Amino acid sequence: MSDRIIVLPIEVRERIRAGEVVERPASVVKELIENSIDAGSRRIICEIIRGGVERIRVTDDGEGMSPSDAELALKRYSTSKIKAIDDIYHIQTFGFRGEALPSIKAVSELTLETRPSNDEIGFLIRTRGNEIIEKRPQPMKVGTIVDVRRLFFNTPARRKFIKSERVEFNHIKKVFTALAIEHKNIHFTLFNNGSLSLDLPSCLDLKERLSYILEANLLDNLLFFSERYDNIEIKGTTVRPEHAESLRKFQYIFVNGRWVSSNLVRKAIYQAYGNSLWGKHPVFVVEINLPSKDIDVNIHPTKKEVRFNKENEIFRNTFLAIKKILISKEGLPELEKEKNFLLQEELVQSGQLTEQTFFQKVGEETTSYRVGTTVPKGFWQLHNSYIFASTKTGFMIVDQHAAHERIIFDKIMGRKEPIPPQMLLFPIKVIHSLLKDIIDNVSSKEVFSEVAKQVACKSAIKAGQMLQPEEMNKLFDDLFATDNPYQCPHGRPTMIKFTLDELEKKFKRK
């Protein structure tokens, strides 16, 4: 039998390696812009034609390269970022493998123009695949221009997997946006088929950067946070549950300035929301900074994944940071109250409500409170169904039924042992036949949750029920003590907020 094992030709090896780095046009954009960032650029322009398959051109004003460095940059494993094995564990730049440009070159027609500040003229290299077509001096400004054309021209199998122009550009735009979010000191501009798509001037902070990207209604509802746990810093922004979206389209995670995909971090964020999302997805930007020795970014050529040495700490601290902002004063509206506000509660009756009596005590009224309080400013009931309350920035309208549903549901679900009587403001009756229709056994957590939802709905105060001022006050206090005061257990909103700015615009005072 003849020998069947062969060493692959260099051209085949180059294309295989390129496939690990260049998955689609967005991969090219990511690698080129990261190179520009590493070069100290303050202005980066990206031009896309036909989803990046026909052309990707990235221009920067970075430090540029000498002719000899430019030629080396197109050779695999040539890099200025690391010099020894130990450098891999202390990486401060995006690129370090020396694979990006050679991989792009292998599957495209590429032109590299570059000029360092200490040279009076630039240098141009033009390639087709791995073949160098032209090398010559090139008059140009300080910086670098990489022009990639006919991507995957020599790998037709890969080209078949390219999606529509619109889909590919959306991937490019997401990559571009991620890099712009994290590098606020750089002016980024993106063109699509000759038209301006994004223009993001350099700015000072995350909020200013997002003001150029997000719609005003979403921007106004962002919650910003910054926490430090020992040597781990976690900062960024997210939204209240009621502003979560149906699609997972604006979620960004950064680790030490690098945009990454981390199921660990994403899971911690979702868990911090508890059961308040109801199938929707939060908008968030989370930046995690920690010692470089505690992460490994050398897992995959794209560097999109990282490995944490202390996964439990990262998970716990991310969870705590998100949870804290969701329940903090920034996440909950501050009601205007009289300075001498005092709430006193007197328990009227007590007892034990077990799983058995939960079903069997038909028609028995649960525990209620007798409330004595100084009434806060601004409470007013509309049509015995909606409660208006003054806040420091405007006012809110609360659906009294949905709010009371949330209070009852949380109190039921918060008990694992025999359930003590719920401390409800209003006497209620538990409907035995309804519960029996839903369940015969409450041992399952999911089923018990469904029962709790139905009990909360049937037991809560109804639209049309008049409330006294002290009762409205108690309802507000109990609502904002829950895990998710913004939605009832079925996912409907409990409140709507209005700012004075919105009112002034309506009355054309602004």
**pLDDT exceeds 80 at position 104:** yes
DSSP letter for 65, please: -
Q: Give the residue range(s) of CATH 3.30.565.10 domains in the chain.
A: 10-203
pLDDT in tens, 68-77: 999 999 986 5
Q: What are φ and ψ of residue 266, in 5° steps?
A: -60, -40
Q: Give the residue range(s) of CATH 3.30.1540.20 domains in the chain.
A: 343-506
pLDDT top residue among 205 and 441: 205
Return the CATH superfamily for domain 343-506. Answer: MutL, C-terminal domain, dimerisation subdomain (3.30.1540.20)
**pLDDT exceeds 50 at position 375:** no
pLDDT tier, 370 (very low <50, low <70, confident <90, very high otherwise) = very low
pLDDT tier, 9 (very low <50, low <70, confident <90, very high otherwise) = low
Q: What is the mean pLDDT of the chain?
A: 80
Stretch 227-239: mean pLDDT: 95
pLDDT tier, 314 (very low <50, low <70, confident <90, very high otherwise) = very high
pLDDT in tens, 453-495: 888 888 899 999 988 888 888 898 888 888 788 888 888 889 8
Check: CATH 3.30.1330.20 for 10-203?
no
**Whole-angstrom distance, CA of residue 493 vs CA of residue 490:** 9
**pLDDT exceeds 70 at position 189:** yes
**pLDDT exceeds 80 at position 388:** yes
pLDDT tier, 108 (very low <50, low <70, confident <90, very high otherwise) = very high
**H-helix or E-strand containing 116?**
none
Nearest to 289, CA basis, from 315, 255, 258: 255
Give the pLDDT confidence score for residue 138 in this predicted structure. Answer: 97
Q: Give the residue range(s) of CATH 3.30.230.10 domains in the chain.
A: 214-327
Alpha carbons within 13 angstroms on the beta-carbon side of residue 67 total 12
Nearest to 114, CA basis, from 56, 74, 54: 74
Structure tokens at 22: 């260049």
Stretch 169-185: mean pLDDT: 97
DSSP per residue, 341-391: --EEEEE-----B-HHHHHH-TTPBPPBEEEEEPPPTT-EEETTTEEEEEE
> Angle, nearest 10°, between helix axes 165-182 and 25-38?
20
Structure tokens at 446: 């999911």
**Whole-angstrom distance, CA of residue 31 vs CA of residue 303:** 10
pLDDT in tens, 298-313: 666 666 788 899 999 9
Cβ proximity of 108 and 153 under 8 Å: yes
**pLDDT exceeds 90 at position 451:** no
Cβ proximity of 234 and 284 under 8 Å: no
Q: Which residues 6+ apart lie within 8 Å of 437 measured at CB?
A: none
pTM: 0.65
**Whole-angstrom distance, CA of residue 399 vs CA of residue 405:** 10
Burial (CB count <10 Å: 0-12, 13-18, 19+), residue 92: exposed
pLDDT top residue among 372 and 112: 112
Stretch 211-220: mean pLDDT: 90
pLDDT in tens, 261-293: 999 999 999 999 877 787 889 999 999 999 988
Q: Which residues 6+ apart lie within 8 Å of 142 measured at CB?
A: 61, 63, 64, 115, 116, 117
Check: CATH 2.40.50.140 for 214-327?
no
Stretch 233-243: mean pLDDT: 92
pLDDT top residue among 263 and 426: 263
**Whole-angstrom distance, CA of residue 286 vs CA of residue 236:** 5
Nearest to 236, CA basis, from 303, 184, 195, 175: 184
**Whole-angstrom distance, CA of residue 287 vs CA of residue 226:** 9
Nearest to 376, CA basis, from 466, 263, 476: 476
Give the pLDDT confidence score for residue 125 in this predicted structure. Answer: 98
Stretch 16-24: mean pLDDT: 65
